[in-house]
Every structure is written in C-alpha cells, then in structure tokens.
Copies of this chain bind each other. A is one copy, B any other.
Amino acid sequence: MASERVWTAGLLVIGDEILSGRTEDRNVAPVATWLNLQGVRLAEVRMVPDDAGRIADAVNAMRGAYDYLFTTGGIGPTHDDITVDAIAAALGVEVVVHPRARAMLEAHYQGRGELTEARLRMARVPAGAELIENVATGAPGIRAGNIFILAGIPKVAAMMLEALSGQIEGGRPMLSRTIGCWVPESEVADLLRITEGAHPGCQIGSYPFFREGRAGANFVIRGTDAAALDACHADLCARLAAAGRACVAEGL
C-alpha cells in the first residue's frame, strides 16, 4: 500500500472555566468526529486559560505543527473574550471590524436592541480573515489562514462546523471496527499484540471496563483500509474464540 498524505489538525480549547473544573468541555469529541468525516486526524488538544500570551503561544505552536488549527471559546462580547485579539497578535496582524460580520450582527439585532460597542466586538477579526456562518446567534466564527475560530458553546460550535462541512481538504477517514468481549484484558494481552502485528495498517486499542460485577473490554481496530480492518476483525474474533472467549462483533 502506497503511503498517503495524512491530514492533521490541532484543537485549542480556551477558557478559565474549563481549567477551573467548573465546566466540562463538550467540544473535543464532536470536533474529533467531525474532523474524521472530513478525512482529517485530530492530532493534539490543548486547553489554556483566558490569557492572551498563553493563547498566542499555543496558537503559534499548533498552527505550524498541523495542517489545521481549530479553537473554541472566547469570541463573545465581554471583556474576558480575548481570543480574536490573542490570535491576531500571534499572527502579527491588526484586529479589524469585518463589514459583513457587522451587517450580520445588525440584521440579527434588528428589533432585539441596539448594536452596542460590546456586541460590535463580535464583528472583530484578525485582518484578512473570512467568516464562518452561524445562523444561531448572528455572531460568526472566523477563518484566519489555517486557523478556524469557533464559539465555546457546544451547540453554536456544532453549527459552525456544519457550515464548514466539505470546505476543508482531507485524506482518507480513519475507520474502525469494535469487538466486545467479557474477558479481563490482561488475559488476552499477548493475543492482541500478536494479532495487531499480523495486520499491518491496523492498530488495536484495548478499552477495559467493569460492569455487572464482571470484567470486559472493547477492542477497537483502527485503520484507513476497510478490507484490512475486516480481515483483522475476523482474525481477532477467531483467535478470541480459539481461546474460549466468545465475542460480540459490534462491541459491548
């Protein structure tokens, strides 16, 4: 199999509320799943506080390391929303009011109150950036080069991703097959390692659990070639059966 270009992305989650433990992040898994549908691997996540220097450092480290960088959080109208300023500083560009973002906000607030200075903050972008549509609140996301700046509220972030679907280049999505088995993973550790070794291009992850007083595990086979995954799946099922362990083909 010829080696193929693998497209990667980083995700930067911005917000004091995440690092204080007050708010559980709800964006990592949906962003990861969406990226995979675009043929892009989520390669790293970082979470940093609302601190301009910390945000800019992470942005510069990650935008160079991966094909794409996504950020969530810190693009609202209040004083603690500093993501745009921090990213503009990281890129060495000015912050400007985007005329179409201003028009979108004007349309959204028509009949709902004034377009105040605070609300107009949500039309500010790093110079040269484009907008990512958001039908929910009128305040758009932002694309600045390979950086995609999304809202922190999961529902709004999801709408922005929806608007980006099919818009970024990727490669072959990572596929997976799951096998569930009522076995302590330590009993089949050798079997797993040997099976993985026999199927190049397939990785097997083992995810143990305890339920109903019994030990079990899900074995997740990952790779980009469906036929290779199916062969590995069949082989692993057969080996588990030969070891006296019935398996559940769809996982437990």
Contact = CB atoms under 8 A, between A and B. Distances in A.
Interface string A124-140: 00000000000000000
Nearest to A190: B118
A18 interface: yes
B208 A20 contact: no
Contacts of A220: 17, 22
B193 A78 contact: yes
B186 A118 contact: yes
Nearest to A186: B77
A92 to B, nearest CB: 23
B42 A48 contact: no
B44 A47 contact: yes
24 contacts: A16-B205, A18-B29, A19-B42, A19-B45, A20-B32, A20-B174, A21-B28, A22-B29, A22-B176, A22-B220, A24-B29, A43-B49, A44-B46, A44-B48, A46-B46, A46-B47, A50-B205, A77-B186, A78-B192, A79-B192, A80-B204, A80-B205, A118-B187, A119-B186
Given A19-B41, A76-B185, A79-B192, 9 more contacts: A13-B45, A15-B205, A20-B32, A20-B174, A21-B28, A21-B30, A45-B46, A78-B193, A80-B205
Interface of A: 13, 15-26, 28-33, 36, 41-50, 54, 76-81, 113, 116-119, 121-122, 153, 174, 176, 184-187, 189-190, 192-193, 196, 203-209, 220, 222
